[in-house]
Amino acid sequence: MAVRLDVRKLTVELPTQTGWVRPVNEVSFTLGEGETLGIVGESGSGKTMLSLALMGLEPPGARRKGEAWLHERDGAADLRGINLIAASPDEMRPLRGREMAMIFQEPMTALNPVMRVGSQIEEAIRVHESGASKNDIHQRAIRALEQAALSEPEQRARQYPHQLSGGLRQRVMIAMALAPGPGILIADEPSTALDVTVQKQILELLAKLRKELQLSLLFITHDLGVVAQVADRIIVMYAGRIVEDGPTAEVLRRPRHPYTEGLLRAAPRLARGNLIPIPGTVPALNALPPGCAFAPRCPYHVTECDAAVPELRPASKNHNARCILVPCAQPTTTN
Ligand SMILES: Nc1ncnc2c1ncn2[C@@H]1O[C@H](COP(=O)(O)OP(=O)(O)O)[C@@H](O)[C@H]1O
Ligand code: SF4
Ligand SMILES: [Mg+2]
């Protein structure tokens, strides 16, 4: 599988009154062509900041470190790709939308309330296709609405966001994101604000579009049950760091980090017995424990956990966890 996105030690730092904090801390992963990578973690673990940093939309004053290589579709055209972290605003502008797009939990924050939804989709296309005719762009906007499974697209196009239900607004958002034809879609909690039935429809739509359009999908959610339905691989984030990553089935069957274990016990669709919430909350970024950030909430905590931040250790092939309970790999002997 060709790699579309190769993120290496991406760090985002924000200035606060007590100094710089790191909502995203040395995060590394790859996203393959046509792959769905789930990023899961409680609210405040850095998921949105990670997506915004990849899109070059981090808050003013933030600084980014590390690399995020965007590779061309079909691999061969430009093997080295472009580093999104080093790209200038002028280099980023054509990539945003055309190569990678993002959808949010609350579509109203991204939609213009006083503009008909059709015109908004047309504008998203026009940014990248200044030479296309008015009629061409209109037809593409209608096709995008159809693709997002909106019935009577001509009529919908003439409506304003507030005239649509939450589910329809999210479909419009998806249509707008996909209209310029990006290969990578970042979906940040796209179904969180919706009721269960509509949530299911949106997840099914995204799964269908991913397949049809060969999208590479970064699917972000706080709900391990949702990610289990859509992702090929999972990354679990805690206090800005990856604490576990691996193939979905394996992480769910045999979580290797106590935090992932806790998320599983608290997930309505996955827990085997009674739902048991994880005690406590995600620590404030300016008051992180000295060693493992999960230590204050961890049932297995021992003194050794406080010595230093544990490294991500290989638990099995393609499966890693940042916990001292994962046995260190045996040193290999060459003679
Ligand atoms: N503009 C900002 N200024 C300072 N801190 C922020 C800002 N935005 C988010 N944060 C902090 O960054 C951390 C990660 O937030 P976020 O990425 O929104 O988490 P998630 O999406 O996983 O809920 C949180 O501790 C949050 O308080
Ligand atoms: S390193 Fe220690 S405190 Fe952290 S998750 Fe593992 S056992 Fe728990
Ligand atoms: Mg978020």
User: What integer is the mean pLDDT of 193-208?
Assistant: 90
Residue 117 structure tokens: 């939804």
Indicate if 260 and 299 belong to the same structural domain.
yes
Lowest mean pLDDT among 82-86, 105-109, 131-135: 105-109
Neighbours of 85 (CB within 10 A): 20
| Ligand 2 neighbour 292 (Cβ under 6 A) | yes
Do 177 and 187 fall into the same domain? no
Residue nearest to atom 24 of ligand 1 (CA): 44
Q: What is the mean pLDDT of residues 307-334?
A: 85
The verdict on 91 and 123 lying in the same domain is: no
239 CB near ligand 2 (under 6 Å): no
Quick one: 145 and 250 in the same domain? Answer: no
In a domain, 329, yes or no: no
pLDDT of 172 above 90: yes
Minimum-distance ligand 2 atom for the alpha carbon of 298: 8
335 in a structural domain: no
In the structure, what pLDDT confidence band is assigned to residue 185 with cuts at 50, 70 and 90? very high
- Between the CA of 44 and the centroid of ligand 1 the distance, in Å, is 6
Domain boundary among 181, 216, 233: 181
Q: Could you tell me if 167 and 214 lie in one domain?
A: no
Instruction: Report which ligand 1 atom has the smallest distance to the Cα of 237.
Output: 22
**Together in a domain, 217 and 300:** yes
Question: Does residue 240 line the site of ligand 2, with CB under 6 A?
Answer: no
What's the whole-number mean pLDDT along residues 124-149? 94
Atom of ligand 1 nearest to the CA of 189: 21
Query: What secondary structure, in 3-state letters, does 261-276 show?
Result: HHHHHHCCCCCCCCCC
255 CB near ligand 2 (under 6 Å): no
Quick check: CB of 295 below 6 Å from ligand 2? yes
In a domain, residue 326? The reply is no
Q: Which amino acid, residue 142?
A: I
Same domain, 186 and 51: yes
63-79: pLDDT as tens digits: 999 999 999 876 555 55
Mark whether 43 and 82 lie in a shared domain.
yes
Mean pLDDT of 8-21: 96
What's the distance, CA 190 to chain centroid?
10
- Is 134 within the bounds of a domain? yes
Answer yes or no: is 243 within a domain.
yes
Please state, for a pLDDT cut of 90, what percent of the chain lies above it: 83
Any ligand 2 atom below 6 A from CB of 300: yes
Ligand 2, atom nearest to 324 Cα = 1
pTM of the predicted structure, to 2 decimals: 0.94
Please state the atom number of ligand 1 nearest to the C-alpha of residue 222. Answer: 22
Q: Is the CB of 305 under 6 A from ligand 2?
A: yes
Question: Of all protein residues, whose CA lies closest to atom 10 belonging to ligand 1?
Answer: 23
- Taking CA atoms only, the protein residue closest to ligand 2 atom 1 is 323
CATH number at residue 289: 3.40.50.300
Residues 155, 202 within the same domain:
no
Residue 163 DSSP label? G
* Ligand 2 pocket member 315 (CB < 6 A): no
pLDDT at 334 over 50: no
**Domain identity same for 87 and 33:** yes
Q: List b or e across 272-297, with b for residues whose CB sees 16 or more CB atoms inside 10 angstroms.
A: eeeeeebeeebbebeebbebbbbbeb
Tally the domains of the chain.
Answer: 2
| Domain-located, residue 157 | yes
| Structural domain boundaries enclosing 196 | 3-99+182-321
Q: Are residues 240 and 277 in the same domain?
A: yes
Q: What is the pLDDT of residue 144?
A: 97
Q: What is the pLDDT of residue 194?
A: 84
Among 181, 208, 238, the domain boundary falls at 181
Mean pLDDT, all residues of the chain: 93
CB atoms within 10 A of CB 106: 16
DSSP state of 306: G
- The CA angle 5-32-326, to the nearest 5 degrees, is 90
The protein residue with its alpha carbon nearest to ligand 2, atom 6, reads 323
Ligand 1 first shell, C-beta below 6 A = 14, 23, 41, 43-49, 59, 285
**Section 229-249 average pLDDT:** 97
- Last residue of a domain, which of 146, 165, 181? 181
- Residue 332 in this model has a pLDDT that exceeds 50: no
